[in-house]
Amino acid sequence: MSLAAILLRRILWIIPVALGVVTITFFTARVFTGDPTELYAPPEATTELIAQIRQELGLGDSLAVQFLRYLGDLLQFDLGRSFSTGNDVMTDLSNRLPATLELGILGLGLALLVGIPAGVIAAVNRERWPDFLLRWVTLTGMALPQFWIGLVLLLVFFVNLQWLPGPVGRLPLGVSPPPTVTGFMLVDTLLAGDPRKFWQALTALILPALTLAITTLAPVARVTRSAMVEALQSDYVRTAFAMGHPRRVVWFRYCLRNALLPVVTLVGGIAGFIFGGAVLLEAIFGWPGVGQYALQAIQQSDFAALQGFVIYASMLYVLVFLAVDILYIFIDPRMRTQASSRR
């Protein structure tokens, strides 16, 4: 079986998964959320007016008809219209997605940049002080809630020291954003040639990105350490040392490559969570991302927006783990052999 056939089979599995996600999301949103007509109808509304509002919102038909109409809209990339904002849900998500991506890329990048080397150092110094220090850091990072870490950082660096801005979003209040080119504030401020706004956007990113990095670094470092300890005890590592290879070559060229498989799986799940919108984190820092959009949809019983967010987040997870499967094939040649043998 060729590599293209393996990838095609992986991609085709997205179709039944996507249909299942859409079906569950649609009926759950209709059954368990409040009636959105209550948000639009005045207290003295008559039965005729409520019926008219329901018809305008597309809620007058049966659930089966609404579901088929919704599937037809999805095929045209139409997620419906938000009851609270009045905009297309796809437009709302597209406008907020760059903020979530910018925060997620910076936070996850910091976590990987620190977590993977820290896991390697702890593994090669097993049962010594670097290992004990990493264990304490990872246990602390995994035990403390993300929102608590964010609140503590705000208390220290914004309230007490006043070194960094508070939870006001991507730019200080009253500062107009640069012309939108990419949607990434750091990039757009540079393209606009405005270093002052670039610095303001960067300082606004520090606390939420640091919160995200602290909570993400802990599991990454822990899994990297465990996988590296197992790899260091393998026969091929002892053979490499016996052949006179330098330690760093054995650690990073041989051990780390095999240890990356569980790390890639973990990072895939973390990336899905982050890019799907870290709801509490964005709410704490006033970050205008898709997570905050989902929270507002829940508070206002806006099931059109909530449906759109759930479908977006679910499909993001599917695509992330599809990318993980593809990375597995390239990282581990045994995956290609196993896939070919199933033919």
- What is the mean pLDDT of the segment spanning 63-82? 83
pTM for the whole structure: 0.81
Q: What is the pLDDT of residues 231-284, one digit of tens each?
A: 888 887 788 778 877 877 787 777 887 788 888 888 888 888 787 767 788 888
Mean pLDDT, rounded, for 96-125? 90
pLDDT by residue (tens digit) across 288-320? 888 888 888 877 777 778 888 888 888 888 888
Torsion angle defined by CA atoms of residues 293, 298, 302 and 306, in that order, rounded to the nearest 10 degrees: 60
260 or 219, higher pLDDT: 219
Q: Measured between alpha carbons, how far is 267 from 313 in angstroms, rounded to an integer?
A: 16
Least confident of 94-103, 217-226, 314-323, 328-337: 328-337
| Residue (of 50, 36, 68, 23) closest to 297 by Cα position | 36
DSSP letter at 88? B
In tens, the pLDDT along 160-205 reads: 988 998 888 888 888 888 888 888 999 999 998 989 999 999 999 9
Q: What value does the mean pLDDT take over residues 132-136?
A: 88
Return the closest-CA partner of residue 217 out of 114, 94, 102, 69: 114
pLDDT value at residue 268: 84
pLDDT on residue 337: 59
Whole-number Å distance between alpha carbons of 39 and 55: 15
For the ranges 70-74, 221-225, 274-278, 336-340, the maximum mean pLDDT occurs at: 221-225
For residue 160, what pLDDT is reported? 92
Predicted pLDDT of residue 334: 62
Q: What's the pLDDT tens digit per position in 325-339?
A: 777 777 766 665 555
> pLDDT, tens digit, for every residue of 53-65?
777 666 767 778 8
Give CA–CA dist 272/77, Å, rounded: 21
Q: What is the pLDDT of residue 3?
A: 64
Domains of the chain (ranges; CATH) run: 93-341 (1.10.3720.10)
Q: For the chain, what percentages of helix, strand and coil (3-state, to nearest 5) are there? A: 75, 0, 25
- pLDDT band at residue 32 under the 50/70/90 scheme: low
Q: Mean pLDDT score of the chain, rounded to an integer? A: 82
- Residue 111 CA, distance from chain mean position: 14
Instruction: Return the pLDDT at 27.
Output: 80
Give the 3-state secondary structure of 124-139. Answer: HCCCCHHHHHHHHHHH
DSSP string, 259-323: HHHHHHHHHHHHHHHHHTT-HHHHHHTT--SHHHHHHHHHHTT-HHHHHHHHHHHHHHHHHHHHH
Tell me what percent of the residues of the chain surpass a pLDDT of 70: 88
